[in-house]
Chain A
Amino acid sequence: MIPELEKFVGFSAKNLPKDEPLASGHRACQGCGEVLALRMVMKALGRDVIVCNATGCMEIVTSPFPQTAWNVPWIHIAFENAASVASGVEAARKVLARKGKIPKKHVDILAVGGDGATGDIGLQWISGAMERGHDFLYVCLDNEAYMNTGVQRSGCTPYGAMTTTSPPGSQSFGQVTWKKNVPAIMAAHGIKYVATASPAYYLDLMNKVKKAAMVKGPAYVHIYSPCPTGWGSAGERSIEIARLVVETKVFPLYEVIDGKYIMSRKITKPKPVTEYLKTQRRFRHLKEEQINYIQARVDAEYEKLLKLSEM
């Protein structure tokens, strides 16, 4: 256990904050799992926070000038650089506090972006910020494609999924690559805290965000975020899908604390991946051969993860 987390007190149904740092009335789609996850993130962090938002759905739907959904200081510069902007904010507050120009009180610095902003275009910027050791947390809201711009594939799009740039056709079955393991890349930086979360397990999600904020230095939380618009799923089923993805072992929940993998939820009686795949139109075209491959690979990846947690 790392010292910062010794005083950690988790959220429960009894002490959930009522305050909403991210206000309602924003322009997210009906049933958006991403904005729900972001709302939980902000509830966990409270108001002593500065948010550095990458370009993407969450930035667009919360900030059409002159409106804003943000009750906390918020800045957006570009697509790939939220972690760099956060680095600058962190450094500025350090020197200003040292010089007595701002109160010494700790303020969390949150950089947040989608899977494209995190795993594709922004990877270098995040890697730089992690390596330099800035005291901030990075949250990736992963809806598994570029949804804001019309559902183009990203490195985090799952195998077989249909997107507008990985369409199934006579020569293709959709996305041909396996989902990039971004949490492992972040853990490889040797940072103290990495976790995965799903909005279906909201207390787990909020606790992980709180831990990530408490840790000194960089921390990373990767949150699975259902997108009814991009996935062709029913808006009212977002939470159900966010639960199924865990129960089928497709998106396991775990923490990496100081290099040690800890399973948040061991799935002893997994549901078949078809239970998950059939909830979304993006997988509808898949044939038995691809579904069998997905099942085998999901099982193998989960085993690898279990082994890591037993080390």
Chain B
Amino acid sequence: MSKRVGVEVSIAVADAVALARAEVIPAYPITPQTHIVEHLSEIVANGHLDAEFIPVESEHAAMSCACGSSAAGARTFTATSSQGLSLMSEILYHPGPMRLPIVMVVANRALAAPISIWNDHQDIMVQRDIGWIQTFAENGQEAVDLLLHAFRVAEDRRVALPFIVNIDGFTLSHVIEPIIMPDQEEVDRYIPPFKPHYKLDPRKPVSMGPVGIPEVYTEERMAHNEALKASKRVILQGWKEFAEIFGRQYNPVEVYRTEDAETLLVTMGSISETAMTAVDEMRNAGKKVGLVRIRLWRPFPGPEFRKAIGKAKTLAVIDRCLPPGAVCGPVGAELRSLLYRVPGAPKIFSFVAGLGGRDVTVDRFKEIVDKAELYAKKRPVELYEVIGVREK
């Protein structure tokens, strides 16, 4: 029987990795640290999980080891954050086209400089185009559930793609939450053993990672892109099966009080819980405000998002990333691109907020909605705005 326990989210994530029976876990604990890796090494050391824990000398090596172990046919997991994710960057582009279903949890945090260990989404937004499936968790329960879903989908032979589950650094990774931990029998039913199409095996030799000459490179990249887009069907099926076994339903995009809403906040990750409180208060004050939360970031669920926003007139998008010199934040840019010249599309404003661990409070969300509604009435000079900057 699954039971609800109060547990630090990082510890629950590590326990979920054990429930998913990961076989190789190459990981570097720092830059910056979460308890995920520490607890996993403990689980392996205690014999609770039959796996190889490789204490590598850097995140770049962690991802390199992960590519090797996944190619050799083992279920492979790693976790990282911030600078560590950046250090991995070169190798993050390999498992997608090579179709290696590595699963990784990223505890999202700011990038230096200045050095910061606190939460925002700048680390992962830099890695937007690595060609992995990516989801964002709102709370601890979701972190655990999305992780199990990641193993189920990534290794599906129709998918065979790497998968990142994003959880907010500190705000999720270091807090204690009540979480229902699934039991082993249910997880075994949900995640079948890993049976890759190809693996490194002297009985049936294959060459992996060859040179892509100009005559084949475009086709290879296109094949990867098509596979990523096509994975959505299995992602949805994975959530349907999840609901059947565990009783919790997940969707690519979630809505909260969007009925007849004129202005919608658009969020990703744990910030959404505060946003819901703000929506409640604004609704009580008679404002027609709702919330749309993006859970599936790659492949981007275009049709689901368009359906979720209904007939709203204004979108106030929260970007937890400031791309210097860009037209606006990455989520805002994505949505503008999605809705460009769509008849009746809402006006879209990108608000950069919550950088480097700065809290985004209920009042801030109200300020964002007020500003979005004001800007919607007249064309703004700036296409995006950094919210909550201290004047002195």
Q: Are A85 and B65 in contact (CB under 8 A)?
A: yes
Q: Is A173 engaged at the interface, CB distance under 8 Å to the other chain?
A: no
Q: Known interface pairs A50-B202, A73-B201, A73-B202. Does A95 touch B211 (Cβ–Cβ under 8 Å)?
A: no
* Segment touching A, from B56-64, B224-232, B266-274, B290-298: B56-64
Kindly identify which residue among A50, A63, A91, A96 contacts B26, using a CB–CB cutoff of 8 Å. A91
In the complex, which residues 83-105 of chain A have their Cβ closer than 8 Å to any Cβ of chain B? 84-96, 98-99, 101-102
Number of A-B contacts (CB under 8 A): 160
Count class of interface residues, chain B: 35 or more
Q: Are B72 and A96 in contact (CB under 8 A)?
A: yes
Kindly identify which residue among B23, B70, B71, B205 contacts A71, using a CB–CB cutoff of 8 Å. B205
Q: Are B211 and A91 in contact (CB under 8 A)?
A: no
Kindly identify which residue among A50, A64, A77, A125 contacts B211, using a CB–CB cutoff of 8 Å. A64
Bound complex: CA A98 to CA B216 (Å):
39
Kindly identify which residue among A47, A50, A65 contacts B200, using a CB–CB cutoff of 8 Å. A50
* Segment touching A, from B47-55, B110-118, B119-127, B132-140: B47-55
Q: Is A124 engaged at the interface, CB distance under 8 Å to the other chain?
A: yes
Bound complex: CA A81 to CA B90 (Å):
11
> Which secondary structure characterizes the binding site on chain B?
mixed
Q: Min CB distance, A138 to chain B, in Å?
A: 14
Q: Known interface pairs A84-B64, A88-B26, A92-B24. Does A128 touch B56 (Cβ–Cβ under 8 Å)?
A: yes
Contacts of A240 in B (CB 8 A): none
Q: Are A88 and B208 in contact (CB under 8 A)?
A: no
Q: Known interface pairs A77-B64, A78-B91, A81-B60. Does A92 touch B208 (Cβ–Cβ under 8 Å)?
A: no
Total residues of chain A contacting the partner, CB 8 A:
47
**CB nearest to A128 among chain B residues:** B57
Q: Is A107 engaged at the interface, CB distance under 8 Å to the other chain?
A: yes
Kindly identify which residue among A88, A95, A99, A124 contacts B58, using a CB–CB cutoff of 8 Å. A124
Bound complex: CA A93 to CA B201 (Å):
10
Q: Is B302 engaged at the interface, CB distance under 8 Å to the other chain?
A: no
Q: Is A202 engaged at the interface, CB distance under 8 Å to the other chain?
A: no
Bound complex: CA A47 to CA B56 (Å):
29
Bound complex: CA A65 to CA B71 (Å):
18
**CB nearest to A82 among chain B residues:** B64
Contacts of A72 in B (CB 8 A): 202, 205
Bound complex: CA A70 to CA B68 (Å):
17
Q: Known interface pairs A89-B69, A91-B26, A91-B65. Does A70 touch B202 (Cβ–Cβ under 8 Å)?
A: no
What 0/1 pattern do residues 107 to 148 of A give for CB contact below 8 A with B?
100000000000000001101100110000000000000000
Q: Are B51 and A88 in contact (CB under 8 A)?
A: no
Kindly identify which residue among B52, B61, B213, B220 contacts A125, using a CB–CB cutoff of 8 Å. B61
Contacts of B202 in A (CB 8 A): 47-50, 72-73, 107
Bound complex: CA A41 to CA B231 (Å):
42
Contacts of B58 in A (CB 8 A): 124, 128
Bound complex: CA A29 to CA B267 (Å):
56
Q: Known interface pairs A81-B91, A89-B200. Does A65 touch B68 (Cβ–Cβ under 8 Å)?
A: no
**CB nearest to A50 among chain B residues:** B200
Kindly identify which residue among B23, B50, B90, B208 contacts A75, using a CB–CB cutoff of 8 Å. B208
Contacts of B208 in A (CB 8 A): 73-76
Contacts of A25 in B (CB 8 A): none
Bound complex: CA A52 to CA B76 (Å):
18
Contacts of B210 in A (CB 8 A): 63-65, 68, 76
Contacts of B64 in A (CB 8 A): 77-78, 81, 84-85, 87-88, 125
Bound complex: CA A78 to CA B24 (Å):
20
Bound complex: CA A107 to CA B74 (Å):
16
Q: Min CB distance, B211 to chain A, in Å?
A: 5
Bound complex: CA A43 to CA B244 (Å):
54
Q: Is A59 engaged at the interface, CB distance under 8 Å to the other chain?
A: yes
Q: Min CB distance, B216 to chain A, in Å?
A: 5
Contacts of A49 in B (CB 8 A): 202
**CB nearest to B102 among chain A residues:** A88
Contacts of A305 in B (CB 8 A): none
Q: Are A87 and B200 in contact (CB under 8 A)?
A: no
Bound complex: CA A85 to CA B66 (Å):
7
Bound complex: CA A128 to CA B23 (Å):
20
Bound complex: CA A78 to CA B67 (Å):
11
Q: Is B323 engaged at the interface, CB distance under 8 Å to the other chain?
A: no
**CB nearest to A98 among chain B residues:** B50
Q: Is A3 engaged at the interface, CB distance under 8 Å to the other chain?
A: no
Contacts of B66 in A (CB 8 A): 88
Q: Min CB distance, B351 to chain A, in Å?
A: 38
Q: Min CB distance, A68 to chain B, in Å?
A: 4
Q: Is A169 engaged at the interface, CB distance under 8 Å to the other chain?
A: no
**CB nearest to B203 among chain A residues:** A103
Q: Are A88 and B68 in contact (CB under 8 A)?
A: yes
Q: Known interface pairs A66-B216, A89-B200. Does A81 touch B73 (Cβ–Cβ under 8 Å)?
A: no
Q: Is A60 engaged at the interface, CB distance under 8 Å to the other chain?
A: yes
**CB nearest to A53 among chain B residues:** B209
- Where the two chains meet, the residues of B that have a C-beta atom closer than 8 Å to any C-beta of A are 23-24, 26, 50-52, 54-58, 60-61, 64-74, 76, 90-91, 94, 200-202, 205-213, 216, 220
Query: Can you give 9 contacting A-B residue pairs, CB < 8 Å?
Result: A63-B209, A65-B213, A66-B216, A75-B68, A77-B64, A84-B60, A88-B69, A89-B69, A91-B68
**Contacts A74-B207, A91-B68 known; 11 new A-B pairs at CB < 8 A:** A65-B220, A78-B64, A80-B60, A81-B64, A85-B67, A86-B68, A88-B26, A89-B69, A91-B52, A95-B51, A99-B50
The 10 closest A-B pairs by CB, nearest first: A88-B68, A84-B64, A128-B57, A92-B72, A92-B74, A88-B65, A63-B210, A81-B64, A88-B69, A85-B68
